[in-house]
Chains A and B, each alone.
Chain A
Amino acid sequence: MTVSQFGDARTGKLADNLTGFGRALRRAGVRVDAARMALAQQAVLLTGLGREDFSAALEAVLVGREQDRAVFRELFDAYFKNPDVAQKLLAQMLPSAESKAEPVKRRPRVSEALAPVRAARNAPPVREDEKIDFDAAMTASDRQRLHHADFNQLSASEYQLVERLARDIPLPLPHYAARRTRPGVRGSRPHWPGAMHQAARHGGEILSLPRLQRRQQPLPLLVLVDVSGSMERYARLLLAFLHAATAPRHAGAGLRRDVFAFGTGLTDLTPAFRLGDTDAMLDAASHAISDFAGGTRMGESLAALRQHHARRLVGRRTLVLLISDGLDTGTPEVLERELGWLRRHSGRLLWLNPLLRFDGYAPTARGAAVLHRQAHGMLAVHNLARLQDLAGSLAALLRQ
């Protein structure tokens, strides 16, 4: 098999094609740097160009996360001209009336990443009225995407408020004695390296025995934020505050935090929370959340958490913070089962309920009743719209 069978036949150069493919991957959001591309070339030379090996070699080198595999494979098929896919793609480019072929279902990221390449290949410019939207083959989830969260960036005063609160009301995240140790004066195990060094200084005499004591680490934190319609007003500032309050500069570098938003589905906000800047986080979150201000199907969302992210709950000591009003439109039996699972697999399951505005509140809504039964603790927030109260309540809940 010759090199020219792969990639763009006009250039016929493997290196160029690989570079172009790397660019397309980057556009699709797969992180690929120059060193990786160089390695990819080496790899391809080692395995040869059999189609399967070629793809496997590139995947082993260029992909570093399970999530990126699907994007990689689709893009690979499209880029290295699987004749079938190319055909379908071409059909998709033509006005839809002529298109008999079934459109290739392709995630928007891949379509967007391919767009410049295809534009260059299909030289004849398309007239405005003939232009076909790439999202022609929109899947349900694509449509849902349009309804994503509209988190504006924080106004300056809001930003200051969030920062001030995060500073003034430190979340007293509980600590536990980690298995890692450090030299100290308490503790049961002797610190032999220290003892030896001391002995060396005193002619072999051990005068006092330094000890190893266990380091203190904050408990891992898992936050589940309800972003359904009834919680719409609170979600944005809540996320902003949580982001600031659990940032390494306030909560210490050792804190492990996982954040999920849920409505009708589950969205992993952990990558967004890794961004240092709160505005950047809100921006990333609003892109990620597909079901903002929709319904609440808490049970199903928790089931998704169990199936796909169960291992985010570390060693049964994770502190789970569930922020929801408990107005659930899903099946109560499912919710009951999933909450039971969550409770068993976490250290503490705390429920923060913004509906608890008056003292006489009783959790009568079906979902709320289940939550009330399963959570280790529940807290009233009298007016969640005011962030001060929220921050204070969170802190109080953690202190319980």
Chain B
Amino acid sequence: MSLPNSVDALIRSLQDVGYFADRRLATAVFLALKLQRPLLLEGEPGVGKTALAQALSQVLARGLIRLQCYDGLEQREALYEWNYAAQLLHLRAAEGRADGAQLEREVYQDRYLIRRPLLQALQAPAPGAVLLIDEVDRADEPFEAFLLEYLGEYQVSIPEIGTVRASATPVTLLTSNRTRDLHDAVKRRCLYHWLDYPERERELAIVHAQVPGASAALARQVADFVARLRSQPFANAFQRAPGIAESVEWAKALVALDTIVVDPEVVSDTAGILFKQREDVAALTRDMAAQLLQPEEA
């Protein structure tokens, strides 16, 4: 599919593949597509940063190429590496047969090149790829400096072969959990969007879409409960508020338990799905659950 021609069209097509974007996010994505800039997404874990890339690749009918960053990520894992074993075999086989220059050409030919995600994204055939550089804050600063060059030019040079340019600029999404601030220079290359937890209606829509088995009443209770968990004063009691993924999981669990109405009993039995830390599970007492389940007006 070609690029959507308006923000509304983008929202609709994202919705068709099950991603419910609010208008501000859709605007940022729309601009990133139109201006051909990378989009940097920040936000708490579980608000749909990675899911957006997946949805976008479906909407645009482009392949998704994902680079998961981690501490110690190096160029050879992100960009390319030579298949040394095969090269050595080639050298052995050619022993005494060819002259030096000839041999070098043979050894550094295309088929011995192992393409890693960043190179794959450059060489993806038209219309290009969706490139997801996930959790870029986990990689270290030297890698960020390299990324800076990559995102600026969308080209890399491989000494033995030459420069590889992008045939079609990949749609690039970067996500960060803010374990550290990214360098300003990288941010300047990118558009930026901070993903918040969804408002109640959007979360309700997501739960409905992802858990078709949940009744309307149950889905509403789930969305209400989670939304209030994330709001003050309750949020302070927990170390980490549940994300969208958690509320969807929770709704699935409630359906599996044949729950019709959420009560404090059920909440404390299933707290392990909403929270993944012992302290948080303990903090969600029955009293608090009862309080959270009370209607908003009270």
Q: Is the CB of A56 within 8 A of B82?
A: no
Which of the residues B24, B142, B179, B190 comes within 8 Å of A311, measured between beta carbons? B179
Assembly CA distance A208 to B84 (angstroms): 15
Q: Does A180 lie within 8 Å of B74, measured CB to CB? A: yes
Judge whether B24 and A179 touch: CB under 8 Å. Answer: no
A47 close to chain B: CB less than 8 A: yes
Proximity bits, B174-213, A CB within 8 Å = 1, else 0: 0001111100100110111110000000000000000000
Q: Which residues B68-87 have CB closer than 8 A to chain A?
A: 70-72, 74, 82, 84, 87
- How far is the CB of A257 from the nearest CB of chain B, in Å? 11
Say yes or no for A122: interface residue by CB 8 A criterion. Answer: no
- In the complex, the answer to whether B184 meets A47 with C-beta atoms within 8 Å is no
Q: What residues of A have a CB within 8 angstroms of the CB of B193 in the complex?
A: 59-60
Question: Is B177 touching A311 in the complex (CB atoms < 8 A)?
Answer: yes
Interface pair B178/A204, CB less than 8 Å apart: no
Chain A CB within 8 A of B236 CB: yes
By size class, the interface of chain B is 35 or more
- Check if B288 is an interface residue, CB within 8 A of chain A: no
Please tell me if the beta carbons of B84 and A47 are within 8 angstroms of each other in the complex: no
CB-based contact B31/A196 at 8 Å: no
The interface residues of chain A lying within 8 Å CB-to-CB of B27 are: 47, 52-53, 56-57, 60
A345 to chain B, nearest CB (A): 10
A11 interface residue (CB < 8 Å to B) = no
Could you say which of A64-72, A353-361, A383-391 contacts chain B?
Answer: A64-72
| Interfacial chain A residues near B23, Cβ < 8 Å | 52-53, 56
Q: Is the CB of B82 within 8 A of A192?
A: yes
Q: Which residues of A contact B (CB under 8 A)?
A: 31, 33, 35-36, 39, 42-43, 46-47, 52-53, 55-57, 59-61, 63-66, 69, 178-181, 192-193, 195-196, 199-200, 203-204, 206, 256, 303, 306-307, 310-312, 314-315, 341
Closest 9 CB pairs of A and B: A179-B72, A56-B27, A192-B84, A60-B28, A56-B24, A64-B187, A311-B179, A204-B91, A60-B191
23 A-B pairs (CB sep. < 8 Å): A33-B188, A39-B37, A43-B35, A47-B30, A56-B23, A56-B27, A59-B193, A64-B40, A65-B187, A66-B42, A66-B178, A69-B194, A178-B71, A178-B140, A180-B72, A193-B82, A195-B84, A196-B82, A196-B84, A204-B92, A311-B179, A311-B180, A312-B180
